[in-house]
Amino acid sequence: MAEEDLQEVVEDPDETEDELQDPEVAARRAAALAFIRRYGDPVLKSRATPVDRFDDALRDQVARMSAIMRDAIGVGLAAPQVGLSQRLLVYQVGHEAPVIAVVNPEIEWTSDAEEPLEEGCLSLPGVHIDVDRPIHVRVRAQDEHGDPQLIEASGLEARVLQHEIDHLNGVLILERGSREQRKEAIRILREQERERAEQAA
């Protein structure tokens, strides 16, 4: 999930814009986005497989994903977005907050109360979809060491968790929006694809 798409919730909307004016930040973001799989990649439509080895390789992957997420100016990143079919995600709600790794998450409970909010996605650049999601969730999972964790989240944290768990289940925000929003999103993505093809030619 992209941070700039949640600015109205996260913090001062000018902060991310100011960051992107810095050439070094913009270059790091472009490099990070190059690692992220985009719409059309089959890994984004597949259900990820459970993690069964909690070793140094997994912890290295958590560190790599955390770095990509931060450099891409995102608030969450799921393993399928970097081409790995693993039930693993990382998220960070706020610049000063710690990055949290969530392994093999299962949503145990959601509130009846929902709220709509426009969401973006690092795998769908330029696309924004209004998504209704429960305001409160409880997620049972493990951390990168295999220890059990229970996350009770509200507001933005709950939304980010649900967005990233959707990725682990092969669900994109396109499937959460209205038919009109999906059509507009597909048009934007096709236009981007044409532009990339022209630049590569």
Q: Does residue 164 carry a catalytic annotation?
A: yes
Answer for the pair 131, 121: CB distance below 8 angstroms, yes or no: no
Please list, in sequence order, all residues whose beta carbon lies within 8 angstroms of the beta carbon of residue 194, skipping any fewer than 6 positions away: none
**Residue 54 Cα to chain centre, angstroms:** 22
Please list, in sequence order, all residues whose beta carbon lies within 8 angstroms of the beta carbon of residue 77, skipping any fewer than 6 positions away: 36, 65, 66, 68, 69, 89, 90, 91, 122, 164
3-state SS, residue 91:
strand
Give the total residue count for the chain: 201
Answer for the pair 134, 158: CB distance below 8 angstroms, yes or no: yes
Which of the residues 164, 175, 195, 198 is marked catalytic?
Answer: 164
Answer for the pair 76, 163: CB distance below 8 angstroms, yes or no: yes
Active site residues: 164
